[in-house]
């Protein structure tokens, strides 16, 4: 009965979305990309259950099952339990370490109530949500730029590591769903200077969910996109360089807001948190399984001195020769392909004026660079890094493939 109810619900959601996609220029990819996403979520569970035997997704599964059963198995009991502070839930599962993991467990528990604790059905729900975010973002980008069609399709619907690590029962699936929709709303507003009440309401809800499970995503998002949002709202038609003070004001507002909103963003705390994560991940990594940094005694000087390594590592590592198993080697091959297309992208890039680039693409570039540096330095372990790249790698591959002469040649040759 549970399987039948959930199958009907899932098919209904897919059918409605497919019907609404009738005017999409990439409609032909809907079912293919959806199946790739759902299969990836299932494969992720298979890999962790039967190959690794441990991992975050299994911890989340056990914790959510326990939370659901502790709630009495009814919706009202579960609502009461979910309403408890994250710290109280975290006390039941010390292995989770962070309150944001407790918040994520609550999300899983809602779906476990619906699916009677089925890992696989919940995995399909999470993968579907992630896919719908990707689909909405890709269509939004293509709506305002037809030349972005192929890069958007490759980056957000088919790129293997991106599709795999943004599927299944992982925080990255829900985080990407939130992030992609927020980005789509941002692009719509920047391009049209219009936003509906429902877009604003949903945007606020998604920002809250994203903040609760990946607050650093929101921090970098705000830092890179809010100043442009402020500028486009109050000086939409201005091109005078003297008016760029509004962008600077936006950065200051964001920095103050971040310092007030989370203790980890305090000036004296942020470097400590980054360094603690860095050292923890180094200790958890075996030989040859992490980015190698130049060692300097001062944490701040070490971070600054390793900025180039962090950026390169965050964008392109691990490479094929750094892989220690079949999964790492396959990931390395994909990263090497990205590196080759990146080199191809560089050849014509300096011939173009940067002022012609739409504001949202410039904001995206800053977002990619900042997150790549921070995540690579804080989590140098190759396996964890590849998973955490989900926050920016789709945008990075989109930027690489967009207006890339080699991509254009490949698809022009195929069309002939």
Q: Which residues contact 246 (CB under 8 A, 6 or more apart)?
A: 227, 230, 231, 234, 235
Question: What whole-number distance in Å separates Cα of residue 45 and Cα of residue 50?
Answer: 8
pLDDT at 355: 46
pLDDT at 79: 67
Question: What whole-number distance in Å separates Cα of residue 173 and Cα of residue 157?
Answer: 14
| Contact (CB, 8 A) for 223 and 254 | yes
Q: Which residues contact 299 (CB under 8 A, 6 or more apart)?
A: 271, 272, 274, 275
**C-alpha distance across the termini of the chain, in Å:** 51
Q: What is the pLDDT along the chain (416 residues), one digit of tens a residue?
A: 888 999 999 999 999 999 988 888 999 999 999 999 999 999 999 999 988 888 889 988 888 888 777 655 566 666 666 666 666 566 666 556 666 788 888 899 889 988 988 999 999 999 999 999 999 999 999 999 888 999 999 999 999 999 999 999 999 999 999 999 999 999 998 888 788 888 889 999 999 999 989 988 988 988 888 877 777 777 666 554 445 666 666 677 777 777 767 777 777 788 888 888 888 888 887 777 889 998 888 888 999 999 999 999 999 999 998 877 788 888 999 999 999 999 888 866 555 544 456 677 788 888 999 999 999 999 999 988 999 999 999 999 999 998 888 877 777 655 54
Give the closest residue to 169 by CA, choosing from 331, 60, 290: 60
- Domain edges within the chain: 1-195, 268-416
Give the closest residue to 331 by CA, choosing from 340, 322, 341: 322
| Contact (CB, 8 A) for 3 and 121 | yes
Instruction: Note the residue count of the chain.
Output: 416
DSSP state letter for 324: S
């Amino acid at each position: 009965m549970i399987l039948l109810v959930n199958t009907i619900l899932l098919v209904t959601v897919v059918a409605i979305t497919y019907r609404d996609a009738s005017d999409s220029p990439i409609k032909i990819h809907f079912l293919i990309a959806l199946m790739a996403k759902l299969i990836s979520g299932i494969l992720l569970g298979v890999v962790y259950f039967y190959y690794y035997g441990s991992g975050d997704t299994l911890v989340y599964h056990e914790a959510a099952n326990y939370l659901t059963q502790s709630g009495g198995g009814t919706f009202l009991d579960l609502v009461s339990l979910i309403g408890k502070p994250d710290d109280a839930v975290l006390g039941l599962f010390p292995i989770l370490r962070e309150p944001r993991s407790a918040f994520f467990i609550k999300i899983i528990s809602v779906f476990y109530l619906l699916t009677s604790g089925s890992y696989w059905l919940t995995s399909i729900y999470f993968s579907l949500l992630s896919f719908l975010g990707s689909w909405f973002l890709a269509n939004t980008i293509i709506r305002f730029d037809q030349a972005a069609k192929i890069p958007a399709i490759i980056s957000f619907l088919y790129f293997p590591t991106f599709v795999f690590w943004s599927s299944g029962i992982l925080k990255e699936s829900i985080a990407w769903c939130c992030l992609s929709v927020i980005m789509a709303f941002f692009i719509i507003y920047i391009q049209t200077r219009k936003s509906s009440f429902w877009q604003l309401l949903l945007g606020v809800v998604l920002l809250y969910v994203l903040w609760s499970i990946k607050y650093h995503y929101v921090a970098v998002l705000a830092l890179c996109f809010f100043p442009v949002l402020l500028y486009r709202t109050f000086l939409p038609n201005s091109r005078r360089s003297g008016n760029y003070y509004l962008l600077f004001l936006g950065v200051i507002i964001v920095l103050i807001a971040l310092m007030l909103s989370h203790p980890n963003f305090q000036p004296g705390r942020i470097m400590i948190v980054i360094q603690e994560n860095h050292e923890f991940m180094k200790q958890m990594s075996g030989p040859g399984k992490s980015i190698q940094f130049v060692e300097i005694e001062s944490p701040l000087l070490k971070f600054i001195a390793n900025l180039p390594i962090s950026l390169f590592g965050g964008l392109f590592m691990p490479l094929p020769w750094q892989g220690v198993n079949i999964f790492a080697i396959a990931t390395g091959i994909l990263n090497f392909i990205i590196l080759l297309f990146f080199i191809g992208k560089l050849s014509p890039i300096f011939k173009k004026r940067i002022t012609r680039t739409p504001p949202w693409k410039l904001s995206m570039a800053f977002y990619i660079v900042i997150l790549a540096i921070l995540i690579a330095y804080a989590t140098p372990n190759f396996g964890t890094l590849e998973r955490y790249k989900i926050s920016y790698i789709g945008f990075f591959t989109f930027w690489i493939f967009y207006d890339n002469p080699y991509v254009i040649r490949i698809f022009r040759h195929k069309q002939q």
